[in-house]
């Protein structure tokens, strides 16, 4: 995933010293007596684009230590294996088809002329189909703080006038920062620790933390590149700084480390130009890359279907209602009428790639593909050290967090806490 928001360095430095309370501020250090007996907090950490096999590269001693004294697994993302859909799944327990965030980019007939993108995503309209954990927590009296998480800057449940202006109503975490890629990982960790230096009355009990550098390196250089391994090592060191800081504070924590998806290598040589497959006069291609989606020109449906539908070398195309059931995708009205999915490592672009296109990496492929597997580690006083668990779907993470926070189990979710029950201390089972 790539977010592009930037803040000038001087403003950033000032923000990092301020108290973070909605709408926008920052965590303020407070002196806490070292003799205080602290209750455990729950910290949900996302390392965007971190494949579980990255740990085999020998550069993750801190993550390995958490896994060795807790639990770990290769987690299956939800389809599509994109950033915003899966981050929303992780905190709602609903697959993208049901949580409303069906892709990193989407349209809705109720917002004509408006496109949801990762940069244009603040309207609660897009998010209101599924309640995130921090809203559930706040309503249950559990103070929450999010140091970046897709959707956490949105006034969930709020409304705008036709998608314009500031929302009215809605719930945010008590403390939150708007995403800024320029904030280094070390400062993100420092922000979390500063929140936890507060007096007990204003200290969050549920926190999120987000790192994007592994994903960025994977996109730019590919998953197997030394630059990606260096990014893995760096974020591991930042996790180590967090663990060390918690120890210094005397703050016990149930830490859940996840990724939203994995990463697959790509090449311009493995690219299909969709304008050579179907006549561009018959369609508007909405998305491109690991999958492609199409809106037909009215009256041109037959021609488009004749060109697209069925199995092709390196990709398959379906009407949205006929997308394979195992993908759990295709009922939400925000999904375009026609959908094509590429073989892992291939790209479905609108046109032929530029002559100077370089190899790199991406995600969005079949969620069962090994390259799309996501990191999962959990460690803390509520977690028994049971080692490696069988693979599970990421819809099960939100029920686990509910258990750790003693929140209600939740109704009509797509996942449950079954993969973790044997590893949970009895007092944390719903």
| Residues with catalytic function | 83
Which residue, chain included where needed, has tokens 């990762």?
Answer: 118
Strands 164-168 and 159-161: antiparallel
The C-alpha atoms of residue 292 and residue 350 are separated, in whole angstroms, by 9
* DSSP-based three-state secondary structure for 396: helix
- Decide: 28 and 180 in contact? Cβ < 8 Å: no
Judged on CB neighbours under 10 Å (0-12, 13-18, 19+), 261 is: buried
Question: Per-residue b/e over 210-232, b at no fewer than 16 CB within 10 Å?
Answer: bbbbbbbbbbebbbebeebbebb
Judged on CB neighbours under 10 Å (0-12, 13-18, 19+), 284 is: exposed
- Decide: 253 and 246 in contact? Cβ < 8 Å: yes
Which residue, chain included where needed, has tokens 């449950």?
Answer: 416
- Decide: 399 and 78 in contact? Cβ < 8 Å: no
Question: Per-residue b/e over 104-128, b at no fewer than 16 CB within 10 Å?
Answer: bbbbbeebeebebebeebbbbbbbb
* DSSP-based three-state secondary structure for 207: strand
| SS (HEC) of 135-186 | HHHHHCCCCEEEECCCCCCCCECCEEECCEEEEECCECCCEEECCCCCCCHH
Tokens standing for residue 100:
């409303």
């Amino acid at each position: 995933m790539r977010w592009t928001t930037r803040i000038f360095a001087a403003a950033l430095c000032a923000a990092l010293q301020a108290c973070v309370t909605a709408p926008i501020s920052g965590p303020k250090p407070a002196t806490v007596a070292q003799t205080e007996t602290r209750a455990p907090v729950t910290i949900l950490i996302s390392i965007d684009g971190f494949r579980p096999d990255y740990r085999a590269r020998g550069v993750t001693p801190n993550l390995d230590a958490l896994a060795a004294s807790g639990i770990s697994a290769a987690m299956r993302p939800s389809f599509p294996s994109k950033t915003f859909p899966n981050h929303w799944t992780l905190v709602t327990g609903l697959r993208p088809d049901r949580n409303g965030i069906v892709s990193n980019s989407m349209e809705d007939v109720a917002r004509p002329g408006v496109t949801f993108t990762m940069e244009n995503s603040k309207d609660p309209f897009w998010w209101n189909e599924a309640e995130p954990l921090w809203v559930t927590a706040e309503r249950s009296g559990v103070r929450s703080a999010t140091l970046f998480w897709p959707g956490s800057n949105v006034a969930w449940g709020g409304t705008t006038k036709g998608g314009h202006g500031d929302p009215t109503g809605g719930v945010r975490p008590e403390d939150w920062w708007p995403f800024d890629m320029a904030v280094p990982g070390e400062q993100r960790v420092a922000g979390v620790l500063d929140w936890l230096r507060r007096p007990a009355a204003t200290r969050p009990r549920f926190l999120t933390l987000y790192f994007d550098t592994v994903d960025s390196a994977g996109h730019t250089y590919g998953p197997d590149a030394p630059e990606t391994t260096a990014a893995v090592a760096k974020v591991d060191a930042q996790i180590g700084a967090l663990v060390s800081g918690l120890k210094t504070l005397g703050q016990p924590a149930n830490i859940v480390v996840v990724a939203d998806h994995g990463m697959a290598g790509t090449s311009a040589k493995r690219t299909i130009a969709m304008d050579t497959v179907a006549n561009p006069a018959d369609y508007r291609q909405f998305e491109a890359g690991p999958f492609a989606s199409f809106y037909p020109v009215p009256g041109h449906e037959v021609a488009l279907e004749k060109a697209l539908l069925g199995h092709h070398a390196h990709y398959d195309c379906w009407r949205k209602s006929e997308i394979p059931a195992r993908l759990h995708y295709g009922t939400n009205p925000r999904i375009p009428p026609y959908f094509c999915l590429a073989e892992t490592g291939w790209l479905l672009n609108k046109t032929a790639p530029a002559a100077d296109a370089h190899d790199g990496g991406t995600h969005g492929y079949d969620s069962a593909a090994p390259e799309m597997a996501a990191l999962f580690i959990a460690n803390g006083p509520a977690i028994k050290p049971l080692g490696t668990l069988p693979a599970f779907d990421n819809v099960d993470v939100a029920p686990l967090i509910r258990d750790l926070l003693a929140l209600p189990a939740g109704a009509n979710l797509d996942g449950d806490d079954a993969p973790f029950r044997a590893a949970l201390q009895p007092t944390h089972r719903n």
